[in-house]
A and B are shown apart, each in its own frame.
Chain A
């Protein structure tokens, strides 16, 4: 098996363990509030998407809980780090669990993979502890010898439910 640090070239040859490591690392960066490093995992033009509906196909012609490019992600990060983000006193603490990681598709032409997984995220805020659960679908691209996120899709199992504000990335 290739070591995790070996530069990657082809999507079809990315070891499963490397994919798992990537997803775990991504979640860990969020739990450690290393939001800037997390945002750097995205490819140029990469999107973070939380659909509002089950099986929602279109992020543009329908409402989404979030559909954020690097600009909107960075603005969210700037806010989370701002002293006067009133609702972040105390700040959110999270714990992600990512499991059931499955390679769903590989595209040689675009050098991309689609990786599915299940997750739960516990979040503690001023109003207490709450849980998010759902499925991730990561579209990953091999570029410059490493994996980059083209799209992180977060399908919450209760996406059309009423929510209290969602502030951190899921």
Chain B
């Protein structure tokens, strides 16, 4: 059976979530070709700064070179294979040095020095041969500081990949008075016992909050009613939002684009308080009041840049999705400073993240639980197909600026859209057949 038979217009076979063979193929055909988010250039401001992360299952290093350029290479010494950089952020003075036999590499990854060099005379070793340097990933591209890489020379170009969803990256940065953003405040990291696609499907799924998040929005309302006469401070407002009535969700807009990207319109706004006013003033001072209103009028909840990240433009959050195995996913949450905005605005960004994105979030915990329940249920023999029927066939082409498709707020358009991209990635190479774990065709 081939991969095409795992996908229908409005449902997918459970093997896409539970089959280790499918996962292995995804690492090859999706994460081995697609533009994957690596990091932000503010994480490595100076030459010698580096950030170690993953593309699919590959450990890679993003490093700032001597001429200020950004290099991304595999984290593997060409000598014996040891990783040359530890996880996370670091700085090296002028060169990378392998901890095993002290081979050294320039910041662009080229081999600089090898101990006992005379021992290599009259061997096939050659300092100038690229295979004795750190191997660069095939392609690196960045847009407004957000760095992406592709492990394939020949897959789609970055411009085509990012075109549909560029407006979210623009709005993310345009909200900064200086037009730039920088990573600040550390990284939250959450492990989920579920397939990476389950998390992506949830990001623009407006059908789940009322059910999944009942315990947290009721807890927030209970406190507001008992202690505050029904008033909702910022923290409770963002928890309470998940309890909005069905019409609220269906009135939202969902926009979907090529390559699996999408976004949903905002579900809550920043309060109109002195801090918001001071921020508006700082933005207006740089870009003018009309432009500031225009920028802040673009109000979105989660954006999806498939298959590796999800910016939240209104509260400066950026989630990175790293598949670990067929049933384990790591989500990293970065927060950004709007350069030139009042420092207190960053505190609000942290407050939002502490409530919504921390491993101890009382909101996210029920999400992570139901993802794991999906993973467990999908592994049973209780049925082979997973429904994506809601509003199927009812989404429309969007005539506005970015094009794409538009659906009502409760459409499963973003999920169907992700699987259209998934199918393209997975079948882009010569059709290969893989054994399915279940028997039903």
Contacts and interface: CB of A to CB of B under 8 A. Distances in A.
Interface stretch (B112-120, B184-192, B280-288): B184-192
Interface in A52-66: 52-53, 60-66
Which among B193, B223, B239 has the highest number of chain A CB atoms within 10 Å? Answer: B223
Interface residues of B, number: 45
Nearest to A50: B360
Contact of B360 (A83, A127, A162, A166): A166
B399 to A, nearest CB: 41
B369 A82 contact: no
Contacts of B193: 127, 164
Contact of A62 (B189, B343, B350, B373): B350
Interface in A120-165: 126-127, 160-165
Contacts of A167: 360, 362, 365
B223 A127 contact: no
A62 B187 CA distance: 10
Interface string B331-365: 00001000000010011001001110011111011
B366 A87 contact: yes
A52 B362 contact: no
Nearest to B353: A63
A53 B216 CA distance: 27
A82 B212 CA distance: 13
Contacts, number: 120
Do most interface residues of chain B lie in helix, strand or loop, or is the interface mixed? helix
B350 A164 contact: no
Interface stretch (A6-14, A18-26, A71-79, A105-113): A71-79
Given A63-B188, A86-B369, A164-B359, A74 B223 contact: yes
Nearest to B364: A165
B150 to A, nearest CB: 25
B219 interface: yes
Given A78-B223, A163-B191, A164-B190, A61 B350 contact: yes
Which among A71, A75, A77, A160 has the highest number of chain B CB atoms within 10 Å? Answer: A75
Contacts of A88: 215
A63 B364 CA distance: 16
A148 B215 CA distance: 29
Contacts of B186: 52-53, 62-63, 160
B360 A79 contact: no
Lowest 3 CB-CB distances: which A-B pairs, in order? A87-B369, A78-B219, A162-B189
30 contacts: A60-B350, A61-B185, A63-B353, A63-B354, A63-B358, A64-B350, A64-B354, A65-B188, A65-B359, A67-B354, A71-B223, A71-B233, A75-B219, A76-B219, A76-B362, A77-B219, A78-B223, A79-B215, A79-B216, A82-B218, A84-B218, A87-B365, A88-B215, A126-B369, A160-B189, A162-B359, A164-B191, A164-B193, A165-B369, A167-B360
Interface of A: 50, 52-53, 60-67, 71-72, 74-79, 82-88, 126-127, 160-167
Interface of B: 185-193, 212, 214-216, 218-220, 222-223, 227, 233, 235-236, 239, 330, 335, 343, 346-347, 350, 353-355, 358-362, 364-366, 368-370, 372-373
